[in-house]
Structure 1
């Protein structure tokens, strides 16, 4: 077996230097007075319910679940995997069995023991429920209980991302006595650092958690009380931060100046890319899209820098690649692979057999800045590509994209580790590849990535260059996720996550 043993080290995630208490607003909820209670209030972009761990999502949702649930594996802010409920783990030869050794002496909120049988019960429930992250365990055929402290995840095909999935939704452990009941949908039952305070919780508005007595990792309990206030509106989150109603929240570049003037502390990380998904690369709806030169022309037709300035005040990085800068696939040279060159775009269209251009449709939604749709339409039109805008309801936009009802769509796409990205939007079975487009070159590279290891990393880099050169997408830029907190706490951003994990907050020194 290839053994990956790691020491259990859970350190407080703090930013460098002591930060002074802000004089602005009505004062923070986080008290650091000697002997006083320490509280943390987060302005949350998302609502977590239901609390059944099988229905958990990642990204904005995950920190809420982390209050009540531990995961089998924990992911550090820089992406390194650390022990949590699993003390260590190992792949078999061929990477088809992942063996986990489990922490002893841990119990769920209801008193049930955490053991191998609990892990199997959670996997079976997660698989059956097929929630938002159900596809992450598609390559796991079963979980076998070797003994009370050991389990085996038995795969039907290698999946190098499984340890990462077990640090996210697929690794959240709920009490086997509560799984599948109505109770766990409204009140979480995990082994986590906090338990829900039902009296201070209002579903759809505010979720309050109190420190759990006897928790196995007290170093993770940096606050006595943690509250999440559901605030989907950015302006509401900004006002709550400035007034001291919340201690931390995700904002946007247009809120940055006001937040800084209020002496709030900023951290930022690039998590997503925004641009055009070419959903019909096989040319079944629009024949022209089957031609690589046509897709390349579309890349040359877009003024990425101008669009970034107009939409996000320049807060981001222009790019031509869809794999993220924090991954092994990333190639810095590919960020500038396509430049704004309408003349070259017209030349490529002519070479592809479309000197007079062609037409295609694109969905339009009020969920996005309208400047992006007008700019795409204008700039593609300037090289001869006529874009027909079709308005769709905000609630229908994603479903229509996933169904491939349009040949092209603007979207913001997550930039995770290469194998996860392949399954998300690059590979033939990816959700954001509804046409299941691929070719022999890409498939050979994808096969190497799936096996993992150093060659898998090398193949990921080759795949990144290949899909960029073949113009499978029209990326515009990587977006800065702008996160602010009051100076009474410290925050460390989490790799490949729009908001920090709950473990990344601490009272300021």
Structure 2
């Protein structure tokens, strides 16, 4: 009997520990900074979904749902929003997520010098701690998009212990999400491990998480097909036919609130004095020289949705009667002559991505027939953003990942104080319309305001939207529980690797 017990004990000692599961996700770029206050790119939002919980989240139906806040209520006059916090939620350092911590984060977002969230929260005049689980946001004026703002980076909570580190927070963001950062190698990988104290840990089925930035869409897909990755974002339309035929992987498609746009430099320095920025007739001629449907068919295999507006067709704030003009190169050339030009040359800056480069090349070819000589300049995403912010551009192509509230899809670009208004476009009437739309919640009233606003900016063309995306993800066959979302964010709850 003693020998049996000894053998059993030795067997237990020799037994391997339960294998840990690692989820490997291929993403389209390396995040610039892992600090929600300073973040400015879509890929950072993908990583933050694992790293940092928000006060509220957005479901696949674009309706708000509980995350760190489990309930919320507006004051009757619309000048305050009261949030009830989740009981027992903790940061990665073990500290409790209470009203004081939420206040510390929101105060940083709305006042800190390094924060890019200040304009998003400018209507918040005070954050009050009611009790440990209740926080009240007092507003200087009604602000209907506030919940939408809190469902993004302005609602992400970090441990108050790291907030005094200011600009160094991105090196070690002690957040509150289902996974905590363990190692980052720039341009190579971001490693995380499961946060056992997370309120939803039971629904997180991977022990470790690795984000691998692979900018080339084809290389990202090849790594998935070869078994080096488990899940990838943004499968290129040109790669879809092959991916859909491959039984080793599964493609999941979903609608998107993201869109592609071209920003023109209207008043952002010396380059704004060039014809494309200085004269609305030139921008109109440029739009007449292109065909969005052709761009979609040639560059995106017809998989996306041509569109000239920030809201997707069929949604409440898309205006079908304000469709894009039909392509008319002859009329474009006539407009240029009326503006005093035989031909107009300008530089179009694009991110160094295969699809964006192909789109720019198609635009270059079509615009030539309308009297334009378009030079394409490809840049790394962070370099391009830096140049547009300082006004060093004539035209730049950019993606906007979309927000559930219409204010977050247009005013940031076009309001005179919009934080993405690179071209310094300003129209007082447009500012008034945006402000009025933010102050009401009635859909019919907001529709009327946004429609009038659309009539203004469509005539002046400081931006020219091209199309709305569809999201395409791919994953190893057998991966279960993935739920597509129109915001393009990968949510990890319920996602299981093949057994």
Structure 2 length-normalised TM = 0.81
The reply to whether residue 341 of structure 1 matches residue 324 of structure 2 is no
- Look up the match of 2:57: 74
Task: Indicate conservation of the 8 Å contact 2:346/2:394, yes or no.
Answer: yes
Q: Show the counterpart of 1:168.
A: 152
Aligned to 1:145: 129
Pair 1:494 & 2:485 matched: yes
Q: CA separation of 1:237/1:289 partners in 2, compared to 1, >3 Å: closer, same or farther?
A: closer
The separation in 1 between residues aligned to 2:259 and 2:236, in whole angstroms, is 15
Q: Residue in 2 aligned with 1:400?
A: 387
Cα displacement (A) at 1:76: 1.1
Looking at structure 2, the residues matched to 392 and 218 of structure 1 have their Cα atoms a distance apart, in angstroms, of 42
Q: CA deviation at 1:265?
A: 1.9
CA contact (8 A) 1:363 1:390 kept: yes
Question: Is 1:102 equivalent to 2:89 in the alignment?
Answer: no
Residues 1:477 and 2:467 aligned together: yes
Gaps of 5+ in 1: 1-34
Measure the CA separation in 2 of the matches of 1:326 and 1:265.
28
Aligned residues, how many? 468
Change beyond 3 A, Cα 1:208–1:338: same
8 Å Cα contact 2:360/2:376 also seen in 1: no
Q: Are the counterparts in 1 of residues 262 and 465 from structure 2 also a CA contact under 8 Å?
A: yes
Change (3 A) 1:145 1:364: closer
CA distance 1:508–1:158, shift in 2 (3 Å): farther
Q: CA deviation at 1:147?
A: 1.8
Which deviates the most, 425-434 or 44-53? 44-53
Contact map agreement 1:320 1:338 (CA 8 A) in 2: no
Corresponding residue to 1:261 among 223, 230, 245: 245
SS at match of 1:146: strand
- Structure of greater relative contact order (alpha carbons < 8 Å, 6+ residues apart): 1
Alignment partner of 1:41: what SS?
A: strand
By how many angstroms is 1:237 displaced?
A: 1.6
Alpha-carbon distance between aligned partners in 2 of 1:355 and 1:58, rounded to the nearest angstrom = 39
1:131 deviates by 4.0
2:258 aligned residue: 272
> Which whole-Å CA distance do the structure 2 matches of 1:96 and 1:54 have between them?
24
d(CA) in 1 for partners of 2:483 and 2:39? Answer: 23
User: Contact 2:223–2:229 at 8 Å: present in 1 too?
Assistant: yes
- What is the RMSD of the two structures over their aligned residues, measured on CA atoms? 3.4
What residue number does 1:361 align with?
346
The answer for unaligned runs of 5 or more in structure 2 is 1-17
User: Against the structure 1 CA distance between its residues 122 and 327, is the aligned structure 2 distance closer, same or farther, given a 3 Å change threshold?
Assistant: farther
In structure 2, the CA distance between the partners of 1:412 and 1:86, relative to structure 1 (3 Å rule), is: closer
* 1:246 Cα deviation from its structure 2 partner: 1.6
Tell me if structure 2 keeps the 8 A contact 1:422–1:430: no
Q: 1:288, 1:62 → 2: CA distance?
A: 33
Q: Structure 1 residues 190 and 277 mapped into 2: Cα distance closer, same or farther (>3 Å)?
A: closer
Please list the CA deviations of residues 230-281 of structure 1 after superposition, one character each: whole Å capped at 9, or x if unmatched.
3333233212211222211022122223322322222233343334323228
What residue number does 1:9 align with? none
Equivalent-residue separation in structure 1 for 2:170 and 2:286 (angstroms): 46
Deviations along 1:24-51, one digit per CA (max 9) or x if unpaired, are xxxxxxxxxxx97654321123445754
Aligned partners of 1:63 and 1:412: how far apart in 2? 15
Secondary structure (helix, strand or coil) at the match of 1:40 reads strand
What is the 5 A alignment of 1:436-447? 436-447=424-435
**1:467 matched to 2:453:** no
Aligned with residue 223 of structure 1, among 206, 213, 236: 206
Aligned-partner Cα distance in 2 for 1:186–1:349: 50
Partner of 2:273, secondary structure, is coil
Specify the alignment match of 1:211 in structure 2. Answer: 194
Matched, 1:247 2:230: yes
Taking the aligned partners of 1:464 and 1:167, their CA distance within structure 2 comes to 25
Deviation by residue 1:464-504 (Cα, 9 ceiling, x = unmatched): 3443355443333223333211222242222233x423337
Tell me if the contact between 1:85 and 1:103 (Cα under 8 Å) persists in the aligned partners.
Answer: yes
d(CA) in 1 for partners of 2:213, 2:275: 45
SS at match of 1:494: coil
Decide whether the 8 Å contact of 1:102 with 1:116 is kept in 2.
yes
- Aligned-pair CA distance for 1:81: 0.8
- Cα deviations by residue, 1:360-402 (Å, 9 ceiling, x for unpaired): 4224457255444444344334333x43637475454333333
Q: Distance in 2 between matches of 1:139 and 1:85?
A: 22
Equivalent of 1:118 in 101, 112, 119 = 101
